[in-house]
């Protein structure tokens, strides 16, 4: 990976780490599924009108949008509304990294070596440590929901890679068109589980003491978390093997936990920090250990158009 692309990756880390604070602020006002739908609907309408549809197979665009948009955020937002601490959510969601490696091996034929399998086992041990600690202080369900969100993100990673690799696709256009997929399924799920009018009442009450901070959080999620962060992430996924890019997400909890500690007064327990360190160590080995030096050459940089990110 080039120095420029590493800088892009670190930018994503910062944007996505702070994104969890914006999510928490939004969930203090909006019901979770409606809020997830709203964050994509705000972008989907102008995208349909002004952004050319990328020339990619519809099935990969749907996989990208369903995994990254519907599954990840339906589970994550529900978990955080159900009591998952903000900083811990930013950590557990990074289970997407080893999930991505496994799916890359199963679906894309990327080679999975013994050392990577060992790393996956270590990461699972870390999740068990966190889960055991959660059972003593809070329900386990939010943790399981966050893990399901990580799996959804992994499927989205595979969809974005299949959609973009080798087709000269503008990654920003691909990311924007991904936002067209989630709104209708999420609005439908919200109507069925949260009530058909609940979310719209919260939207109408946007000027309330919890409403205007939620609108600022929504603006951050849309502009910086989705357009900038996801656009850069899709750009990197289109240029490099999934196992090369996925480890970058392991730095997101560093920002997320620090921000939650500083801004929300969330102090993680010692066991949560220990489990988190184990997860990150195992996931790092799973996504980097044993990677062949020739892997990055399989998708040469000139096969994908540069994104217009300025």
What is the percentage of the chain residues whose pLDDT exceeds 70? 89
Say what the pLDDT of residue 298 is: 39
Helix ranges restricted to H, 53-196: 58-64, 72-81, 86-92, 96-107, 114-137, 141-164, 171-178, 183-193
Indicate the pTM of the whole model: 0.81
Q: Is the pLDDT of residue 175 over 60?
A: yes
Query: 């050459």: which residue's tokens?
Result: 297
Say what the pLDDT of residue 287 is: 63
Say what the pLDDT of residue 22 is: 95
Q: How many CA atoms lie within 13 A of 275 on its CB side?
A: 22
**Higher local confidence (pLDDT), 14 or 108:** 14
| Residue range 255-282, pLDDT digits in tens | 888 899 889 888 888 888 888 888 888 8
CA distance 224 to 230: 8
In sequence order, the 6+-apart residues with CB closer than 8 A to the CB of 62 are 159, 181
| Residue range 220-230, pLDDT digits in tens | 999 998 888 88
CA distance 278 to 273: 9
Going by pLDDT thresholds of 50, 70 and 90, the confidence category of residue 231 is: confident
| Residue range 65-97, pLDDT digits in tens | 999 999 999 999 999 999 898 988 888 887 887
**Higher local confidence (pLDDT), 166 or 44:** 44
**Higher local confidence (pLDDT), 310 or 34:** 34
Say what the pLDDT of residue 116 is: 77
**Higher local confidence (pLDDT), 267 or 307:** 267
Q: Is the pLDDT of residue 299 over 60?
A: no
**Higher local confidence (pLDDT), 146 or 308:** 146
**Higher local confidence (pLDDT), 173 or 152:** 152
Mean pLDDT of 152-157: 93
Say what the pLDDT of residue 25 is: 95
How far separated are the first and last CA of the chain, in Å rounded?
21
**Higher local confidence (pLDDT), 214 or 247:** 214
Say what the pLDDT of residue 136 is: 66
Q: Is the pLDDT of residue 306 over 80?
A: no
Say what the pLDDT of residue 297 is: 41
Domain ranges of the chain: 3-303
Q: Is the pLDDT of residue 293 over 80?
A: no
In sequence order, the 6+-apart residues with CB closer than 8 A to the CB of 133 are 269, 271, 272, 275
């Amino acid at each position: 990976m080039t120095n420029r692309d590493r800088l892009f990756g670190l930018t994503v880390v910062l944007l996505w780490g702070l994104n969890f604070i914006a999510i928490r602020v939004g969930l203090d006002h909006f019901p979770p599924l409606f809020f997830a739908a709203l964050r994509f609907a705000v972008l989907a309408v102008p995208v349909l009108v002004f952004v050319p549809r990328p020339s990619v197979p519809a099935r990969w665009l749907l996989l990208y949008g369903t995994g990254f948009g519907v599954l990840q955020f339906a589970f994550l937002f529900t978990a955080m509304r159900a009591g998952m601490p903000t900083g811990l959510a930013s950590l557990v969601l990074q289970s997407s990294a080893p999930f991505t490696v496994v799916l890359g091996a199963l679906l894309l034929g990327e080679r999975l070596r013994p050392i990577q399998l060992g790393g996956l086992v270590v990461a699972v041990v870390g999740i068990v440590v966190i889960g055991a600690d959660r059972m003593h202080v809070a329900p386990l369900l939010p943790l399981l929901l966050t893990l399901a969100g990580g799996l959804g993100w992994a499927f989205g990673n595979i969809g974005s890679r299949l959609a973009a690799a080798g087709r000269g696709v503008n990654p920003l256009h691909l990311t924007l068109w991904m936002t067209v997929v989630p709104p209708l399924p999420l609005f439908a799920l919200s109507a069925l589980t949260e009530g058909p009018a609940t979310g719209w009442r919260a939207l109408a009450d946007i000027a309330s003491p919890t409403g205007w901070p939620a609108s600022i959080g929504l603006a951050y999620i849309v502009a910086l978390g989705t357009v900038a962060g996801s656009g850069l992430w899709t750009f990197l996924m289109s240029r490099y093997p999934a196992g090369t890019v996925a480890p970058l997400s392991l730095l997101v909890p560093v920002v997320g936990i620090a921000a939650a500690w500083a801004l929300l007064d969330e102090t993680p327990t010692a066991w949560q920090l220990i489990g988190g360190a184990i997860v990150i160590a195992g996931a790092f080995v799973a996504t980097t250990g044993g990677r062949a030096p020739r892997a990055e050459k399989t998708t040469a940089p000139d096969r994908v158009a540069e994104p217009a990110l300025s």
